């Protein structure tokens, strides 16, 4: 009896926590990265694989956001935004020679 009761408690807890876990797991990125991904998809036909050098800061009291996006096709883009701007300034990264 204890085993059956214990198993149903675990199942009940999993059902209760399941939706909360799903809501948290929808996006681990800040909202501005989601906005940048959308802008890159439309403007540059870039499906973002991941981001590098993610930075948030302030400049003269305004919020700033910077990141480098790695596209699925291998291209990279640098992006920046200084509020109150609504769209990112995007530039493609070229080949760099040291």
Q: Are 39 and 88 in contact (CB under 8 A)?
A: yes
The answer to whether position 12 is within a domain reads: no
The whole model's pTM is what?
0.68
Q: Are 81 and 32 in contact (CB under 8 A)?
A: yes
Q: How many domains does the chain have?
A: 1
The answer to whether position 21 is within a domain reads: no
Give pLDDT, residue 89.
97
The answer to whether position 71 is within a domain reads: yes
**What is the span of the domain harbouring residue 40?**
29-92
The answer to whether position 10 is within a domain reads: no
pLDDT tens track for 16-56: 444 443 334 445 679 999 999 999 999 999 999 999 999 99
The answer to whether position 69 is within a domain reads: yes
Please state, in angstroms and rounded to a whole number, the distance separating the CA atoms of residues 45 and 26.
23
The answer to whether position 98 is within a domain reads: no
């Amino acid at each position: 009896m204890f085993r059956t009761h214990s198993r149903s408690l675990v199942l009940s807890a999993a059902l209760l926590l399941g939706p909360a876990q799903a809501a948290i797991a929808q996006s681990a990125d800040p909202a501005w990265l989601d906005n940048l991904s959308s802008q890159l998809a439309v403007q540059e036909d870039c499906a973002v694989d991941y981001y590098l050098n993610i930075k948030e800061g302030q400049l003269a009291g305004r919020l700033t956001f910077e990141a480098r996006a790695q596209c699925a096709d291998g291209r990279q883009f640098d992006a920046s935004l200084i509020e109150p701007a609504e769209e990112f300034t995007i530039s493609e990264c070229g080949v760099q020679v040291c």
